[in-house]
């Protein structure tokens, strides 16, 4: 079966910088399953998977516009440290923040006695990424999986969505 929209794709991957520095790999865990076309995976991977079949192994470089987007300097903001009240915050911490545009994930990138600098960019924004992918399985999604927009696991039959 060739991968197309509304297929459940199970795969292993390794992602690295285009300079070869490994960022993440699924090989030490069970393979990942997702609904093709649901935008669970970045666009560059979904595009590269179209037409592939079980057992295919391939490498693909994905530019920022098809990965996590470009970096935006306006998503970096210095705020007074008293906005964090009694929280003990450190550089590298991530959390959800309420902004004028709704909820957003931010990471603390700097901290002084009086200010905290937060970055709303995805940590991989602005980077071209190299993926090595192995298609472990492909199957047609069930009607419920398509309706809910995600893969149902073995224990997911009666869970609310």
Q: Which of 83, 79, 74, 71 is nearest to 118 (CA)?
A: 79
7-68+126-148 and 73-119, same CATH topology: no
Question: Predicted confidence band at 154 (pLDDT cuts at 50, 70, 90)?
Answer: low
CB 135 within 8 A of CB 9: yes
Give domain limits for the chain: 7-68+126-148, 73-119
User: What pLDDT was estimated at residue 161?
Assistant: 38
Domain 73-119 has CATH 2.40.30.40: no
**pTM of the full structure:** 0.80
Encode pLDDT of 7-37 as tens digits: 999 999 999 999 999 999 999 999 999 999 9
Q: Regarding the domain delimited by 7-68+126-148, which CATH topology (the fold level of the hierarchy) does it fall under?
A: Chitinase A; domain 3 (3.10.50)
For β-strands 57-62 and 102-111, DSSP reports them as unpaired
């Amino acid at each position: 079966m060739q991968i197309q929209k509304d297929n459940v794709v199970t795969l292993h991957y390794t992602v690295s910088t285009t300079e070869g520095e490994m960022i993440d790999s699924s090989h030490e865990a069970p393979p990942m399953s997702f609904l093709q076309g649901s935008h669970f995976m970045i666009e560059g991977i979904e595009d590269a998977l179209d037409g592939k079949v079980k057992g295919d192994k391939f490498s693909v470089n994905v530019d920022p516009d098809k990965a996590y987007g470009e970096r935006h300097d306006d998503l970096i903001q210095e705020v007074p440290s008293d906005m964090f009240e009694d929280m003990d915050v450190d550089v590298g911490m991530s959390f959800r923040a309420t902004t004028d545009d709704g909820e957003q994930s931010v990471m603390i990138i700097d901290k002084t006695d009086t200010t905290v600098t937060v970055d709303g960019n995805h940590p991989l924004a602005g980077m071209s990424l190299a993926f090595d992918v192995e298609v472990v399985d492909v199957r047609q999604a069930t009607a419920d999986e398509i309706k809910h927009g995600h893969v149902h696991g073995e224990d997911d039959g009666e869970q609310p969505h």
